[in-house]
Amino acid sequence: MAINEKKTKVLILDDEKVILDTCRTILDATDLEIVTTTSVSECFHIASFGDIGLFITDIMMPELNGVEVIRRLRKQNPRLTVVVITGYPSLSTAREVMKLGAYDYIPKPFTPEEFKKIVFEAIAKTDPRKKLRETLVLEILDRTYDDPAFFDRLYVEGGDALNEYDISPEAKSAIITGDIKWIEENAGKLNEKQKMMLVKKLSAEIW
């Protein structure tokens, strides 16, 4: 590291000290500045200085739910990179934290290799599939099919109707234009319902 190059500061919040100790041990050999806390109020105080490069948080905590912590921190710093660690992994949890802009989430228990890999991917943001929030792209297609009002919003507002989702401009464009090839190459295989919705939109020439 160059003399004037600043270390990336990683803030980790979890109500279990053993988890914090584990995370610190895994990252101690890396060139990162690690700050850990079991206190939500202390977390907000540390984050208020604005020099956090990555925020890692648990979801289920007695003081305040991790989703609400993310929501408040991202209001202060919309560009804050977030990774979630949770002992209660589910598709709904993944969708909720992704909507808030989380880069990824890690189910407990995790291996040192899994944790370190996600941390460095999140810092560098080198994984294009996660950067595009592929699970959200497919969720948006499902919502467009199931929710006529949302379908109409896309017709009227275009990409502005997707502002509640943290997806890339390329992903927005693919959804708006109905680019099936791009979506399947970058977001995953479409199911029949999703394909039918795109074909219906394209055939109606409303996008």
Residue pointed to by tokens 């948006």: 140
Distance, in Å, from the CA atom of 156 to the CA atom of 48, rounded to the nearest integer, reads: 39
**DSSP structural state of residue 34:** E
Q: Classify burial at 55, counting beta carbons within 10 Å of its beta carbon; exposed 0-12, middle 13-18, buried 19 or more.
A: buried
Q: Residue 204: which pLDDT band, with cuts at 50, 70 and 90?
A: low
C-beta neighbour count of 17 within 10 angstroms: 11
Please report, for residues 49, 54, 60, 110, 204, the alpha-carbon distance to residue 77 in angstroms, rounded to integers and kept in the order given: 11, 11, 22, 28, 41
Share of the chain above pLDDT 70, in %: 86
SS (H, E, C) 171-196: HHHHHHHCCHHHHHHHCCCCCHHHHH
What is the percent of the chain with per-residue pLDDT over 90, rounded to a whole number?
29
| Element counts in the chain: helices (H) and strands (E) | 11, 5
* Cα–Cα distance, 35 to 43 (Å, whole number): 9
d(CA 198, CA 149): 16
Tens-digit pLDDT profile for residues 67-121: 899 999 988 887 889 999 988 766 666 677 777 778 888 888 899 999 999 998 8
pTM greater than 0.75: no
Domain extents for the chain? 8-126, 134-204
Q: Which amino acid is at 142?
A: D
Task: Name every residue whose Cβ is closer than 8 Å to that of residue 24 and which is 6 or more positions away in sequence.
Answer: 12, 34, 36
8-126 fold: Rossmann fold (3.40.50)
* pLDDT (tens digit per residue) in 32-77: 999 999 999 999 999 999 899 999 999 889 889 898 999 999 888 8
- What is residue 16's DSSP assignment? -
